[in-house]
Chain A
Amino acid sequence: MTDEPIIHIENVHKYFGHVHALKGVSLDVQKGEVVVIIGPSGSGKSTLLRCINRLEEFDKGKIIVDGIPLDTAANINAVRTEVGMVFQQFNLFPHLTVQENICLAQRIIRHRSKEEAAKVAKDLLAKVGIPDKAKMYPPQLSGGQQQRVAIARALAMNPKIMLFDEPTSALDPEMIQEVLDVMLNLAKEGMTMVVVSHEIGFAKAAANRAILMDDGQIVEEAAPEILFNNPKQERTKLFLSKVLK
């Protein structure tokens, strides 16, 4: 029973019209595991991540998250409250303050009181290192700060799983580390994480497993040291030679 994966993906196919974006992807993620996904543009990394919380519908196959199959609308909403997602473009709500961004879903989904939600927001902002920004609006923050707010907003729902889709690739270089540090801490605390990112340093430091996707398929999966230093597949070697340069 302890070996029951928290995310079970089985032979998932996804089409966008004629584009076959996922070609039979299977993946199990254990509780507390950190999985990093790399791969060339258009290989289906985002699509796979978005299928896990059903922002994208898939056409064939099966995904079970924390024992809940993604089929009925009620199940999809149940899964979404257990799965936090962080986007490349942050997607903070620009008309709300940082604090309101973090409190909104707590209030209407978790039905927490105003004080309770505010307390959670305060603690999380301290945790991501920006305790003094609660009253500001997202456009007034730097990219790195916005992304940390986005992480706090997702964490406020007490998710069991966090999905990150290239969380640092829209950031200026000097802001990347502050976001990665927050993610590293989260990994240390035992959060289950699936991260699409080409930050090899982060993958080596935090990940239990690294996966290379290409052309809608998982090409290779291994421990990060092995995948990045000693890959078996030619395609992995080719891709890494481009990324590491």
Chain B
Amino acid sequence: METSDKNAGAVNPEKILKEAHKVESGWILVGTVVALILIMVFTKPDPYQNMIVFMADGLWVTIYTTLISFSLVLVVGLIGGLGRISKNPIIRGIATVYVEVIRGIPLLVQLIFWYFAMPAILRDLGTTLNIESLANYKTNPLVMAIIGLTIAYGAYMSEVYRAGIQSIPKGQMEAARSLGMTYFQAMRYVILPQAFRVILPPIGNELITLLKDSSLVSVVAVADLTRRGREFTATNFNPIETYSMLALLYLVLTLLTARLVSYTERITKTER
């Protein structure tokens, strides 16, 4: 541990060059895809420009569905991850069941459950318990989709947090506790700040995967990018053009997110 830390502090010119190269090639790819989209839009405004105008609100829905879910996932994952390493067997048991059950069910099935089954369950419950507002419960597709994504990705993220926390040497917690800190103070001030640096890359991956998986919400009545694309072809009968553009738009989003993630990684690395 000591020697690896020493190496981390050292400047390795070869590594910096490699990093710089990686950064550049990342932006070149983003630039190429954006250029391709622009060329398509300007050379063939019909259908590409019309399509983009039509799908713009869906693009926005995809972005904020992803961002809201991801913010919640960061919190749920932290709670789940702490639960997974809890000394209390009941808390650990609940966290483990949560993670295992969620990971064992396809995301699409979960989203369908939240949208179709959950409201029905709530209404039944409202009828039985005679709670009128619950009995007349009306679904909000977006809310249900965000709940579904959050609960699913919260489980995946729990494992990311757990691995990160467990990668910090035990001596860190012991030193913090021996200074009189409580478990949660030690977590907050000593363990998590270190763990966070370790898990930044996998957290970034989760964000990118979540962005892509958010396309599944198109099946449960959320007018996201994918759903708007399908609606566009439904009236214009041009699946080749529409779905090519759809793919390119997702590609721009994921490539940009990847840039953002590697940028944050570099900031936290040079911070010390």
**Do A93 and B178 touch (CB < 8 A)?**
no
Interchain CA distance A80-B173 in the complex, whole Å: 13
Q: In the complex, what residues of A have CB within 8 A of residue B169's CB?
A: 89, 91
**Do B171 and A89 touch (CB < 8 A)?**
yes
**Do B180 and A157 touch (CB < 8 A)?**
yes
Partner of B272, one of A87, A89, A137, A154: A137
**Do A139 and B178 touch (CB < 8 A)?**
no
Q: Across the interface, name the chain B residue whose C-beta is closest to A101.
A: B175
Partner of B181, one of A87, A95, A105: A105
Interchain CA distance A72-B205 in the complex, whole Å: 43
Residue A1 is within 8 A (CB to CB) of chain B in the complex: no
Interface residues of A in 113-163 (CB under 8 A from B): 137-140, 143, 150, 153-154, 157
**Do B193 and A95 touch (CB < 8 A)?**
yes
**Do A108 and B185 touch (CB < 8 A)?**
yes
Q: In the complex, what residues of A have CB within 8 A of residue B177's CB?
A: 55, 80
Q: In the complex, what residues of B have CB within 8 A of residue A80's CB?
A: 177-180
Residue B172 is within 8 A (CB to CB) of chain A in the complex: yes
**Do A109 and B9 touch (CB < 8 A)?**
no
Chain B interface, DSSP helix/strand/loop, else mixed: helix
Residue-wise, chain B 123-147 has the 8 Å CB interface mask toward A (1 for contact) of 0000000000000000000000000
Q: In the complex, what residues of B have CB within 8 A of residue A192's CB?
A: none
Interchain CA distance A81-B6 in the complex, whole Å: 31
In this complex, how many residues of chain A approach chain B with their Cβ under 8 Å: the count is 28
Residue-wise, chain A 24-59 has the 8 Å CB interface mask toward B (1 for contact) of 000000000000000000000000000001010000
Residue A77 is within 8 A (CB to CB) of chain B in the complex: yes
Residue B49 is within 8 A (CB to CB) of chain A in the complex: no
Residue-wise, chain A 70-111 has the 8 Å CB interface mask toward B (1 for contact) of 000000010011011101010111110000000011001100
Interchain CA distance A89-B170 in the complex, whole Å: 11
**Do A91 and B174 touch (CB < 8 A)?**
yes
Given contacts A95-B194, A143-B2, contact A109 B171 (CB under 8 A): no
Given contacts A87-B171, A95-B193, A137-B272, contact A154 B5 (CB under 8 A): no
Partner of B175, one of A91, A139, A143: A91
**Do B174 and A87 touch (CB < 8 A)?**
yes
Given contacts A94-B5, A95-B194, contact A85 B178 (CB under 8 A): yes
Interface size class of B (residues with CB under 8 A): 20 to 34
**Do B181 and A109 touch (CB < 8 A)?**
yes
**Do A93 and B180 touch (CB < 8 A)?**
no
Interchain CA distance A183-B15 in the complex, whole Å: 42
**Do A95 and B272 touch (CB < 8 A)?**
yes
| B118 CB, min distance to chain A CBs, angstroms | 39
Interchain CA distance A153-B172 in the complex, whole Å: 13
Residue-wise, chain B 2-17 has the 8 Å CB interface mask toward A (1 for contact) of 1001101100000000
**Do A91 and B179 touch (CB < 8 A)?**
no
| B262 CB, min distance to chain A CBs, angstroms | 20
Q: Across the interface, name the chain A residue whose C-beta is closest to B189.
A: A104
Residue B166 is within 8 A (CB to CB) of chain A in the complex: no
Interchain CA distance A157-B169 in the complex, whole Å: 23
Q: Across the interface, name the chain B residue whose C-beta is closest to A143.
A: B2
**Do B194 and A94 touch (CB < 8 A)?**
yes
Residue-wise, chain B 233-265 has the 8 Å CB interface mask toward A (1 for contact) of 000000000000000000000000000000000
Q: In the complex, what residues of A have CB within 8 A of residue B175's CB?
A: 85, 87, 91-93, 150
**Do B172 and A91 touch (CB < 8 A)?**
yes
Partner of B180, one of A81, A91, A92, A150: A81
Interchain CA distance A137-B180 in the complex, whole Å: 22
Given contacts A80-B177, A81-B180, contact A140 B189 (CB under 8 A): no
Interchain CA distance A18-B67 in the complex, whole Å: 50
Interface residues of B in 165-199 (CB under 8 A from A): 169, 171-172, 174-182, 185, 189-190, 193-194, 197
**Do B178 and A83 touch (CB < 8 A)?**
yes
Given contacts A87-B171, A89-B171, A95-B272, contact A108 B194 (CB under 8 A): no
Q: In the complex, what residues of B have CB within 8 A of residue A109's CB?
A: 179-181, 185
Q: Across the interface, name the chain A residue whose C-beta is closest to B268.
A: A95
**Do B6 and A153 touch (CB < 8 A)?**
no
| A92 CB, min distance to chain B CBs, angstroms | 8
By Cβ-Cβ distance, the 4 closest A-B pairs, closest first, are A81-B180, A139-B5, A91-B175, A105-B179
Besides A80-B177, A92-B175, A157-B179, 19 new A-B residue pairs in contact (Cβ under 8 A), listed by A number: A55-B174, A55-B178, A77-B180, A77-B182, A81-B179, A84-B178, A85-B178, A89-B171, A91-B169, A91-B172, A91-B174, A93-B190, A93-B194, A95-B193, A95-B272, A108-B181, A137-B9, A137-B272, A140-B9
12 sample A-B contacts, Cβ–Cβ < 8 Å, listed by A number: A80-B177, A87-B171, A87-B175, A89-B1, A91-B171, A91-B172, A93-B176, A95-B193, A109-B185, A139-B5, A140-B9, A143-B2
